[in-house]
Amino acid sequence: MTQENQTKEFDVLIVGAGFAGIYQLLKLRRLGLSAVILEKGDQIGGTWHWNIYPGARCDIPSLEYSYQFDEDLQQEWNWSEKYSGQPEILEYINHVADRYELRDGIQFEEEVISANFNESSAKWKITSSKGHYESRFCIFATGCLSIPNKPDFLGLENFKGQLLQTSSWPQEEQDFTGKRVAVIGTGSSAIQSIPLIAEQAEELYVFQRTPNYSIPSNNGPMDKVVEEDIKSRYSEFRKDNYLNGFGIAAISDEALITETDLDEVHVQLEENWQSAGLGFFGGYADVALDAEANEVAANFVRNKIKEIVKDPKTAQLLVPDYHIGGKRLCVDTGYFETFNKDNVFLIDLKEHPIQKITANTLESDKTYEVDTLIMATGFDAITGALTNIDISGRGNVKLKDQWEGGAKSYLGIGITNFPNLFTVTGPGSPSVLSNMMPSIEQHVNWITDCIEWMMKNDKTVIESTKTAEDDWMVLVNEIADMTVFTDTKSWYNGSNIEEKAKSFLPFIGVPVYTEMLDEIVSESYKGFIFDKAN
Ligand code: NAP
């Protein structure tokens, strides 16, 4: 038997070496289990390894977008800015991998092709691009935003210039000096990169289908007083953040815009605009729930855009007409200001869709000659990384088929028919509607505790029931339907990709979710069954 054909055995196989995967490896090792991570990329970092476009930066403050499992780690690490740039985040995750000696547990440049549950052995059989594995548990730490969305524009294959995608950016630094650059898309990735590309490019054409709300980051060097204060009460600070609806350190007051004097609301929104970034809604509980309140916050941002952008026609095109928050709020550094530059042009794809791409042009309202085309077109979000792998469970049922009408999961952790398979921040959990870092740690801790509980209680196989899963997704949608967000087209509900099933996938409300996770454990993992077929 050749080396490649030998089946390697582990207690747990983890897919993905981002923040979730490497923490999961650490926790399993501490439990005394054998575990391996298979990682498609050639280094750790997940999203922070792939998304290295100019301006890539986290829109959650650094002091929150970091691990909390080790008090020494969180005290010793010093972030240089309020919001960390991608290189510093990558440096941090590498530091963590070294500090806890995790590298020898990661197989790089090894893509998982298939994972099949063998009912007679109750083990997962995994085939990668390099070999075969067998494990009791399989944990997908594959991230919510991992599979690039590549719209099939007519003639794209004929384009002979430089073609880039923000979410799989080349490792080498790109120089756009003297170039005519086109960017398609105006989501967070575009909003972060456009101001920097505009500084270099001779001409920058921004092709916008839907404008976005964006709040200034007011980024800057780490405020040492703030850092000292938070570090002096770090564990309390982290606990408090789990009590905020989005798991962030924003004001969680229950005031209502509809019951507050509008002048007072504007003063608060101005303060939030100047300092809060993603916490822009902070102070008001009804922005997400009440169309009238939402309109007040939306109009505040619309007016800001009109104040910043000098050309009224361009400003009008940049003003969104849907509920603020319906699409993920963006946080920027000089995005709207960029449209005041003479070399930057905004093209409205709603009015003039892209007709054709040729060797060196994009045809929309007119023909644009370009040297570089950048696709900032987002992701097959939340489910894409899972449905792109050939995963089959009981009775050989394929996950892709099971989710054809819309993804369903219990807690965003377990999936009916897929025993001993866990997802970290899967569909039906707060995930992308929360600070990912505490949500990742919450899931990894929960999964590890569950495996430990099974070991102590002589259980071999865990699986969520169909009833629990169905009821859970009903709850996810009931909560979402209480908000004004569900009527907006967004990647939260699959509407950024035509052929994708449309259903709202994130669980809204970190505190309720956290309580429910605990409650389920205290009731001996209510909604899961153990050793069904064994
Ligand atoms: P995105 O928000 O999905 O934006 C994709 C953009 O491409 C949208 O403007 C979309 O228009 C456009 N688009 C897609 N298909 C198109 C087509 N066929 N024709 C024309 N336009 C098309 O993707 P993203 O900017 O990569 O961001 C995704 C998420 O990643 C963010 O919401 C955020 O959660 C995360 N992210 C975070 C950060 C950060 O921490 N700072 C940075 C980047 C990304 P429509 O709106 O009309 O669909």
Q: Is 423 a residue whose pLDDT tops 50?
A: yes
Q: Is 501 a residue whose pLDDT tops 70?
A: yes
Q: Is 144 a residue whose pLDDT tops 50?
A: yes
Question: What pLDDT sits at residue 340?
Answer: 98
What residue owns the CA closest to ligand 1's atom 29?
188
Q: Give the atom of ligand 1 at the shortest distance from the alpha carbon of 331.
A: 41
Question: With bands split at pLDDT 50, 70 and 90, how would you rate the model's confidence at 3?
Answer: low
Beta bridge partners of 35: 12
Q: How far is ligand 1, taken at its centre, from the CA of residue 47, in Å?
A: 14
Question: With bands split at pLDDT 50, 70 and 90, how would you rate the model's confidence at 250?
Answer: confident
Q: How far is ligand 1, taken at its centre, from the CA of residue 46, in Å?
A: 18
Q: How far is ligand 1, taken at its centre, from the CA of residue 520, in Å?
A: 35
Establish whether residue 429 lines the binding site of ligand 1, counting it when its CB lies within 6 angstroms of any ligand atom.
no
Which helix (H) or strand (E) element contains residue 378? Answer: none
The residue type found at 82 is K
Mean pLDDT value of segment 389-413: 97
Beta bridge partners of 138: 13, 421
Q: Is 1 a residue whose pLDDT tops 50?
A: no
Tens of pLDDT along 227-237?
A: 999 999 999 99
Q: How far is ligand 1, taken at its centre, from the CA of residue 166, in Å?
A: 10
Establish whether residue 378 lines the binding site of ligand 1, counting it when its CB lies within 6 angstroms of any ligand atom.
yes
What residue owns the CA closest to ligand 1's atom 40?
58
Establish whether residue 217 lines the binding site of ligand 1, counting it when its CB lies within 6 angstroms of any ligand atom.
no
Establish whether residue 494 lines the binding site of ligand 1, counting it when its CB lies within 6 angstroms of any ligand atom.
no
Residue 532 or residue 368, greater confidence = 368
Question: With bands split at pLDDT 50, 70 and 90, how would you rate the model's confidence at 2?
Answer: low
Tens of pLDDT along 40-56?
A: 999 999 999 999 999 99
Q: What is the mean pLDDT of the chain?
A: 96
Q: Give the atom of ligand 1 at the shortest distance from the alpha carbon of 60.
A: 40
CA-nearest of 497, 107, 523, 157 to 359 is 157
Q: Between vectors from CA 68 to CA 64 and to CA 70, what angle results, nearest 5°? A: 145
- The string of DSSP codes covering 109-142 is S--EEEEEEETTTTEEEEEESS-EEEEEEEEE--
Establish whether residue 136 lines the binding site of ligand 1, counting it when its CB lies within 6 angstroms of any ligand atom.
no
Question: What pLDDT sits at residue 377?
Answer: 98
Q: Is 498 a residue whose pLDDT tops 90?
A: no
Pocket test for ligand 1, best of 50, 188, 215 (most atoms within 8 A of CB): 188
Q: Give the atom of ligand 1 at the shortest distance from the alpha carbon of 491.
A: 3
- The string of DSSP codes covering 429-497 is SSGGGS-HHHHHHHHHHHHHHHHHHHHHTT---EEE-HHHHHHHHHHHHHHHHTSS-TTS--GGGTTTS
Beta bridge partners of 191: none
Establish whether residue 169 lines the binding site of ligand 1, counting it when its CB lies within 6 angstroms of any ligand atom.
no
Establish whether residue 85 lines the binding site of ligand 1, counting it when its CB lies within 6 angstroms of any ligand atom.
no
What residue owns the CA closest to ligand 1's atom 33?
188
Q: How far is ligand 1, taken at its centre, from the CA of residue 168, in Å?
A: 14
Establish whether residue 193 lines the binding site of ligand 1, counting it when its CB lies within 6 angstroms of any ligand atom.
no
Mean pLDDT value of segment 396-420: 97
What 8-state DSSP symbol labels residue 151?
-
Question: What pLDDT sits at residue 487?
Answer: 86
Establish whether residue 384 lines the binding site of ligand 1, counting it when its CB lies within 6 angstroms of any ligand atom.
no
Q: Is 404 exposed, middle or buried (0-12, 13-18, 19+ CB in 10 A)?
A: exposed
Task: Give CA–CA dist 403/504, Å, rounded.
Answer: 13
What residue owns the CA closest to ligand 1's atom 6?
185
Establish whether residue 185 lines the binding site of ligand 1, counting it when its CB lies within 6 angstroms of any ligand atom.
yes
Q: How far is ligand 1, taken at its centre, from the CA of residue 455, in Å?
A: 42
Q: Is 534 a residue whose pLDDT tops 50?
A: no
Q: Is 110 a residue whose pLDDT tops 90?
A: yes
Q: If you count them, how many residues does the chain have?
A: 534
CA-nearest of 102, 90, 108 to 49 is 90
Pocket test for ligand 1, best of 194, 209, 331 (most atoms within 8 A of CB): 209
Tens of pLDDT along 192-237?
A: 999 999 999 999 999 999 999 999 999 999 999 999 999 999 999 9
Share of the chain above pLDDT 90, in %: 93
- What is this structure's pTM? 0.96
What residue owns the CA closest to ligand 1's atom 27?
188
Establish whether residue 74 lines the binding site of ligand 1, counting it when its CB lies within 6 angstroms of any ligand atom.
no
Which helix (H) or strand (E) element contains residue 225? Answer: helix 224-232
Question: What pLDDT sits at residue 320?
Answer: 98
Task: Give CA–CA dist 108/37, Å, rounded.
Answer: 8
With beta carbons less than 8 A apart as the criterion, state whether 148 and 424 touch.
Answer: no
What residue owns the CA closest to ligand 1's atom 3?
378
Establish whether residue 328 lines the binding site of ligand 1, counting it when its CB lies within 6 angstroms of any ligand atom.
yes
Establish whether residue 377 lines the binding site of ligand 1, counting it when its CB lies within 6 angstroms of any ligand atom.
yes
Q: Is 180 a residue whose pLDDT tops 70?
A: yes
Share of the chain above pLDDT 70, in %: 99
Task: Give CA–CA dist 131/127, Å, rounded.
Answer: 6
Pocket test for ligand 1, best of 377, 490, 498 (most atoms within 8 A of CB): 377
Establish whether residue 506 lines the binding site of ligand 1, counting it when its CB lies within 6 angstroms of any ligand atom.
no
Tens of pLDDT along 263-319?
A: 999 999 999 999 989 989 888 989 999 999 999 999 999 999 999 999 999 999 999
What residue owns the CA closest to ligand 1's atom 4?
187
Task: Give CA–CA dist 331/275, Å, rounded.
Answer: 11
Mean pLDDT value of segment 504-517: 95
Question: What pLDDT sits at residue 175?
Answer: 97
Q: How far is ligand 1, taken at its centre, from the CA of residue 185, in Å?
A: 6
Pocket test for ligand 1, best of 496, 497, 498, 500 (most atoms within 8 A of CB): 496
Pocket test for ligand 1, best of 51, 145, 321 (most atoms within 8 A of CB): 145
